Structure 1
């Protein structure tokens, strides 16, 4: 990190913006920041820290009281470079704060932003205060505390790293050298892995115990059971398929027979609605005829209503005509009389109006003249008033002028009395310096006395705290030992309970598995017994049905034989009567098939032919009965065959079920033998009750386990907190010991300082007394205050004189301007009076002429009266003409309307007569009596649609019924079946189906059992393999933890080793620098606890504690250590630090040692690594070639100013 520039505005003593160019300032590698005490040198380091981290270390809470008292806002902008990936990248961090509303002491962040400066411009990175701080920390790799300990060392803080305790120093080294990854982070990561692996081992062990029944023998037995179930399944499937075809065919025929019965029922219902549909058709037909007549009827009614309206209108028109004619005649006479009057008076009024209008123009001129006179009068009055005001103002301004001149003379005399002799002032200022030094020495003396008392009290309190801390450590150790024993006892008990619980859980799981198998076997046995009972019933029914079918077959064979003999006998008789049959077929004119003659004079007798016909009918009847008997015989034989197969299958099924039942009973007994002795004799319900009791007992043990784990967790947490407390108490003990040692040293140092300060104060008191006697004054401060008051008054008087002289000049100018304005206004007054006289004469002349025209009456009223009269003539004429015209129009309209209404009445009357004749003929032709009869027959659109819909549905239903009958008839194709026959086939098929499903269930159970054991066996192998691998990994983790040294991250020898090596290297580099500065008088080393000690080579190499070093020795050692540390810090492992700041500390060195230090700093500084020193020591200024000079704030309100000075 390399600083480029810094801008400060409004921070502490800085008011106006001040810029610092570090590139120019650091050209030689070493530069200094110089200025008097309180000028603002340390504020520059505060500005850098505030820009990077957002607070000022010296301020309360980091931000209180940091804004300049004369500023409302504060701005700091810091530009720096980082070397990243071999290339330099430039950044700018800027923060702006303002005073909180209502408080001048609290600063709040207004703007915070971090930007990267590239060739394309500024690239924003973040713009929130917290984000900026975090990003800066990430970029430079240091937090604020490490930054102020190793890079920018503020005033009174350069020795912090040297005196830091070992734990804090180790944590700091971990952060700045990125050792966290090898420290607590690595240990925590390893412990997390061990915890996860231990949990995994417990899980694998517990899960493995649940798979101990998945052996190879169990897998083989399950395979054999599955093969046997597969054979049984195949056998049941073959029987089922044999019966399924017959069942499906019988089912189809039976469903078609039932559907045909439903269709016939629908057909009967459909036929019962035929009469209602016929009535509906007649109703629709009559409504259709009425619809054709309804329009003429509606038209006839409309014409009747229209004729009534015309008669009413005609009566109204004929009643208005006489009155309108009389009004027209009366208005015509009035119009003629008005025209005669208007012709006489209108010309006289027009002439009178012209004369009055001429007079009116004169009146306008008179009004204009009056307005001019009024305006001139106002102007004259205003001019006179202005003249009076000007005279008054001139008098007042003259008085003010004389008063100001007198006041100026008085102030000049007072100023002469306030001037002080410069030599006397110089002596008094020297006396004030002596008095201020005395006050400062007295204040330092009191401060040192208070500090001495405070240090003694603090040492005493620290000794008491040390005794209390040691007692607390002993108590914590005893409590830790007790807790450790209690925790070990709980761990042993918890492990025993856990093993017992897992054993009980596994036993319960095994019992549950056996119980499930027993329940399954019992269900299968009950199902087999039910199947055997059903098979026995079916077997009994089949045997009875077989006897009945044999009897039916024998009866059908007897019937067939009887009808066959009757048919043979009837056919032989029919052959013998063949001639009679031929004679019955002869027709006259048709050739005989025997002789060929077309005439048949003696055919067989008719009676013989009738006997022949009866014989033929008998033969046909016997043949039909024979066919029915033969069909019945075939049907009986088929049923007998089917029944015999069913009987055979039922017997086979019954026998197989008996064998399976025996096997299941044996397996049930074998499963019962797996149960504990106390459970073997229990039935299923008692067994379930016992299992519930075992489960409750197991749940109680599980709850006890959880309570035990919680207790163990609480003990571990208490142990952890106790160990943390013990560590804190031991750290506190170490800190208190250091405090006591440091406090005793500070007491001795304070006593020496107190003695020196008291001596200086006594010398100063003597000097002040001699000064007061020499100048004969009682108090130097009072005299200086008097001189300051005189200076202030003289300055105020001088300022008042300048102001009075300006006012006097302004008064002189103002009086001259007023006199000039007064002279101009007098001329304007004379001119205004002459113009007013001329206008008054012209006004009198015009008024006399108007009086002559009007005779004294009001001119505008007379003109208005004449205009009103002329307008009245025009209005009256227009009104009479319009009224006559309207009456003529109304009279003509009434005549035309009367003629039109008479014509319409005649036409409508004739049309109505013709329409009535046509309607009466239509009524008679369509069967209606009158209009009311037609209207009753009319149906609404909804009613008509409803009847039509019902008829259409009736017709469609008939069509569907016929179509369904044909469809079912075609599908049956002369097939049929009775309900008894269907039930027999269905029952046989259902029995086959039940047998098939039972065999499938047995097979699925066997397959599931085999697959379950197979999967558990595979998982058992996997768990065994995973457990072996986890054990190996746990062994490796334990070895790594032993190498890291420590338990649960409380101690880490690995990180201690790395940090120690880093610290030894830093100490070695610091020793080189310290040797150069002290001419190898001192060396910095590490003791056995890795704390810093100083080897005093000038005293035989004796080792001294760093707390025993003097101020100068502490400064040199801390400076060497800080330079070595900053040299080694890597920013993100890539960029070295390129600057170092040190604030004060050089005042503790003598001249020789100061030269050595500067020689060393000049040698180790270079352009690539800037070193900045802040000091008020004059000797340093001559040794450093680049200097930043800091001027303190001026008394007139200006802030601190800076500028670069080159040697």
Structure 2
């Protein structure tokens, strides 16, 4: 993950929008952020965490008091690179109207940018959840591992084992090996158990599929197949015999059918004889067809031409009548010629004269309208000028009133501005008070945190002591730590004394036991292994039993084991007690006095602030009474806002007053001009009224002449009436002449057509008579008496062919039937046919078929049963194999579950990561401390400092000084950042250090800077936030933070390059 660009406004001391381009700023791997204390350096980190997680580390509740006092909106935008993808996260807030210190979320969104823009989340909670999912970090993890803010630099170093394990689990994406892996293993175990249960159930459902059952079915199937084979031979024999009988039956049946066909053909002989006569007469009449057709065609033509002659005769008579009527209409139209001439010579010229009159009237009317419009415009201008004069007068009065108001406003502003020094003094005191209260809260919070740690250490120590409560007369949980620690030396001495006594007792018993053993082995006349004597008058008596000796030995071993356990336990208790004492001393000597000093300083400032506020109230009581009802702090801020506003208003009112005085001069000048213009307009109005009267008289005279000329009609009506009548007369004459010409032409055409029809009909009748005579002669020679006989005898070629074909087919069918009957009767000689015998044979075959089909069905059922049993047997074997496999896997999963219980696997992985990280941090720490210090892990994976200058002595990290803690935390943080892979895939490409350099001497500071300058080799961007000016020259590029000013201007950032 690498930052690209950060934008923010309205955040804490920043009022205006600031933009930081990290690509440019961190291009060389290392950059600084410099500025005075309180200027807003750490606010840049707050902007990053606010954009990503909606949270600010130093703010109460994450967002309280983060908005600039002079801003009403807070906006933050952070663009960053994750892998190959670019993301943009934005959030905006507004001030809570009911609580000035609180803010309300007004919008949030997370966008993946690139060739296409994809909105991943658009609600505040969704944005935070998506960011945590993308980075694999929560807000606390991010601030611990990526950004180390003020007073939090050693936080990761001093985390408890559980807290550190959880953090490492998220940072190194070990979740899948913890609860997720355990859940997957449990699910797999349940799944395997379900599979085994299901398979057992399926095996039960399969029933008995043993080899004995299968063999029995196989034998039944073989017997059934032998029976089917016999039935199949009998069936074939019966089928052959029935086939012979059926063939003989078909021959007898065919003979009967042919006999009926022969009888039918014999009945058709008269019809065929008639067909032969008809065919013969048609063949004789065929040569006469041409003449007969001509005769019919001529007869039809004669009828058609006679019809046409009748139609043309009627048309000729109608054309004659139309011609007479057209001649009469033409004569009538020629009688209106005299009226037409009168219209042309008398009425038509009047139109032109009236037109000239109307033009003059229109010209006079236009001129009159123009003058009237001018008169109207002049009147409007007079009214407008009068109204404008009144407006200017009212405006002048308003300007004079406003000027008086501005003079009073300026007087009030001067009274407000006179309080500037006192308001600024109280506001500065308020700022000091709020800083003191902030320090007081931080000291209280830190003291409370230290007391909680102290309480936790005390409880842990008591629990360790309670492990050996059987050695004490009191309950470690109910007495003080000091009382219990006083008993600790006596406890070791007591156990050591008991162990020595037990060993002495055991040695004595062993000695006595050895004497008895030697006495039992003595033999008379053989030397004693102790004294060498061959006689043994007084051997040792009965010794110690083996059971008693064993019990004594067990006591010794038990006390020895207890002592061995007590020594490391005592060392552990001492280490824990030392840590507890150090914490207790820190709280009593450092944190508690610091808190009390902060409280005292804050109380003094509160008292001063109240006194100054009372004085300020008396000063502003008459100037700004509304502010007196606010709480003291809100009142001071409100007064400051009024002061800032008063500065702006003073300038605005001064400018506006000058503008008003200039406007007054301008208005007075305009009023003088309006008075002169009004006099001119009234004179113009009088002249225009005289011109209107003269034009109206001329217009009346012209209109009188025009009415006399047109007889009271207007010109358009008169001209339309004359022209309409002339057109009507001319049209009637033209139409009559045209109609007469068309009637004459039509009369001539009908006469010619009538003469042509008469000639054509005469020729057709002559030809008809000649053809009729020729046909009668030829028909008589062929034996036809009348034309009707010829017509009846004539047949077309297809009809003749059909009759001929019918005759041939009849003769052919009759011959085929007779020949076939002769052949079939020859086949059945000496072969009688019995229908009863064939029926009996069919019934027998049907019975055998039924038996055969039943046997085949039974064979199929047995075959299917055999196949089902064999398939079930295979399925059973497969299920048994599967269950063996599932059972083995289930045992493995059970062992895996046992290993995963209690997060042991995750703790192991986290410990390995931590050990690797501690090794790298130790190398960096050795470089920074001249190989003095090294970082190690104890048995509980807690950090322990090894001091090689003190012979490798090891001590807890909470005993380090401020400078040592800073160097150790820095080394560990650098190692952590180099190991972090966001979501297990993306390397962490940036790291911020906030303060901490002020506790280092120049030599250590030089070593730290040398280490930081080398970090860019690992493709990592490191930002250093400090107020130490000596570091500026070591930074290739840095941000200069310019503090906010008292006039409300917010902090600003400026990029600088060395």
TMscore range, shorter length? 0.5 to 0.7
How far the C-alpha of 1:150 sits from its partner, in A, is: 1.6
Q: State the 1:273 CA deviation.
A: 6.9
* Deviation, structure 1 residue 356: 0.5
Residue 230 of structure 2 corresponds to residue 388 of structure 1: no
Q: Which of 1110, 1114, 1125 in structure 1 is aligned with 2:976?
A: 1125
Task: Call closer, same or farther: CA 1:1193–1:28 in 2, change over 3 Å.
Answer: same
Query: What is the distance in 2 between the residues matched to 1:27 and 1:1119?
Result: 22
CA pair 259-1158 structure 1, distance change in 2 beyond 3 A = same
1:873 aligns with 2:729: yes
Matching of residue 25 in structure 1 with residue 25 in structure 2:
yes
What corresponds to 2:914 in structure 1?
1063
Aligned to 2:633: none
Query: In structure 2, the residue corresponding to 1:170 is in which secondary structure?
Result: helix
- Partners in 2 of 1:276 and 1:1194 — Cα distance? 140
- Cα distance 1:1061–1:232, how it changes in 2: closer, same or farther (>3 A)? closer
Specify which of 235, 241, 258 is matched with residue 250 of structure 1.
Answer: 241
- Of 348, 351, 365, the residue aligned with 1:357 is 351
Cα displacement (A) at 1:1126: 2.4
Structure 2 CA distance for aligned equivalents of residues 1181 and 337 of structure 1: 127
Matches of 1:954 and 1:165, distance apart in 2: 125
| Partners of 2:61 and 2:615 in 1: CA distance | 50
Q: Distance between the aligned counterparts of 1:279 and 1:1106, measured in 2?
A: 142
The answer as to 2:1047 corresponding to 1:1202 is no
For residues 135 and 741 of structure 2, what CA distance do their matches in structure 1 show? 110
What corresponds to 2:174 in structure 1?
179
Structure 1 residue 363 displacement after superposition: 1.4
Equivalent position of 2:486 in the other structure: none
Residues 654-1053 of structure 1 mapped to structure 2, 5 A cutoff: 753=595, 756-757=598-599, 760-762=602-604, 765=607, 769=611, 777=619, 791=647, 794-805=650-661, 807-808=663-664, 811=667, 862-878=718-734, 1047=898, 1049-1053=900-904
CA offset digits 1:844-873 (Å, max 9, x no partner): 896797689668886665544543443443
Quote the residue 2:541 is aligned against. none
Aligned CA-pair RMSD: 8.2
- What is the rounded CA distance, in whole Å, between the counterparts of 1:278 and 1:71 in structure 2? 129
SS in structure 1 at match of 2:902: coil
Structure 1 contact 266–961 (Cα < 8 Å) conserved = no
* Residue 517 (structure 1) aligns with: none
Query: Is contact 2:436–2:602 with CA below 8 Å preserved after alignment?
Result: no
The residue number in structure 1 matching 2:2 is 2
Identify the range of structure 1 (785-794 vs 897-906) with the bigger mean alpha-carbon deviation. 897-906
The answer to whether 1:113 aligns with 2:111 is yes
Native 8 Å contact 2:259 2:821 kept in 1: no
Structure 1 residue 151 and structure 2 residue 130: aligned?
no
Contact 1:1045 1:1053 in 2 (8 A): no
Structure 1 residue 1138: Cα displacement: 3.6
| Conservation of the 8 A alpha-carbon contact between 1:3 and 1:79 | yes
Q: 1:371 maps to which residue?
A: 365
Give yes or no for contact 1:418–1:791 (8 Å, CA) kept in 2. Answer: no
Q: Distance in 2 between matches of 1:74 and 1:279?
A: 124
C-alpha distance in 1 between matches for 2:446 and 2:828: 129
Are the equivalent residues in 1 in contact too, given 2:437–2:602 (CA < 8 A)?
no
Q: CA deviation at 1:801?
A: 1.6
Query: Shift of the alpha carbon at 1:804?
Result: 1.8
8 Å CA contact 2:8, 2:19 repeated in 1: yes
Counterpart in 2 of 1:260?
251
- In structure 2, what is the Cα distance between the partners aligned to 1:1187 and 1:424? 42
Equivalent residues of 1:97, 1:111 under 8 A apart: no
CA distance in 1, matches of 2:121, 2:228: 79
Take 1:245 and 1:786, find their aligned partners in 2: how far apart are those partners?
A: 126
Residue 1075 of structure 1: how far off its partner (Å): 9.6
Q: Secondary structure at the match of 1:259?
A: helix
CA distance in 1, matches of 2:638, 2:62: 39
C-alpha deviation, 1:811, in angstroms: 4.1
Cα displacement (A) at 1:1195: 9.5
Structure 1 position 381, deviation (Å): 0.3
Alpha-carbon distance in structure 1 between the residues aligned to 2:713 and 2:644: 92
CA offset at residue 433 of structure 1? Answer: 2.8
**Retained in 2: the 8 A contact 1:161–1:1118?**
yes
CA distance in 1, matches of 2:1033, 2:350: 114
Deviation at 1:20, TM superposition (A): 0.9
CA distance in 2, matches of 1:836, 1:81: 88
Return the alpha-carbon distance in structure 1 between the equivalents of residues 275 and 159 of structure 2: 119
Describe the shift of the 1:1058–1:454 C-alpha distance in structure 2 as closer, same or farther (beyond 3 A). closer
Name the CA shift for 1:266/1:758 in 2 (closer, same or farther; >3 Å). farther
Equivalents in 2 of 1:865, 1:951: separation in Å?
95
Q: How does 1:70-469 map to 2 (within 5 A)?
A: 78-80=78-80, 91-93=86-88, 95=90, 112-115=110-113, 142=137, 146-153=141-148, 166-167=161-162, 169-180=164-175, 182-187=177-182, 247=238, 249-264=240-255, 266-267=257-258, 336=331, 339-340=334-335, 342=337, 344-385=338-379, 388-389=382-383, 391-392=385-386, 395-396=389-390, 399=393, 402-403=396-397, 406=400, 410=404, 413-414=407-408, 417=411, 420=414, 425=419, 427-433=421-427, 436=430, 440=434
The alpha-carbon deviation at position 253 of structure 1 amounts to 1.7
Q: Which runs of 5+ in 2 are unaligned?
A: 280-298, 461-579, 622-635, 774-805
Q: Give the 3 Å change call, closer, same or farther, for CA 1079–841 of structure 1 in structure 2.
A: same
The answer to whether the 8 Å contact 1:356/1:859 transfers is: no
- Mind listing any 5+ residue stretches in structure 1 that lack a counterpart? 83-87, 289-303, 467-737, 918-949, 1039-1043
Tell me the CA shift for residue 1132 of structure 1. 6.4
Q: Which residue of 2 aligns with 1:539?
A: none
Find the counterpart in structure 1 of residue 528 from structure 2.
Answer: none
Distance apart, 1:829 and its partner CA = 7.6
Secondary structure of the 1:1204 match is strand
1 CA distance for matches of 2:657 and 2:132? 61
Task: Give me the TM-score of the superposition, normalised by structure 1.
Answer: 0.52
CA contact (8 A) 2:32 2:1039 kept: yes
In the alignment, is the contact (CA less than 8 A) between 2:354 and 2:709 conserved in 1? Answer: no
User: Given the superposition, is the C-alpha separation of residues 1178 and 897 from structure 1 closer, same or farther in structure 2, using an over 3 Å criterion?
Assistant: same
Counterparts of 1:126 and 1:791, CA distance in 2: 45
Alpha-carbon distance in 2 for matches of 1:2, 1:326: 115
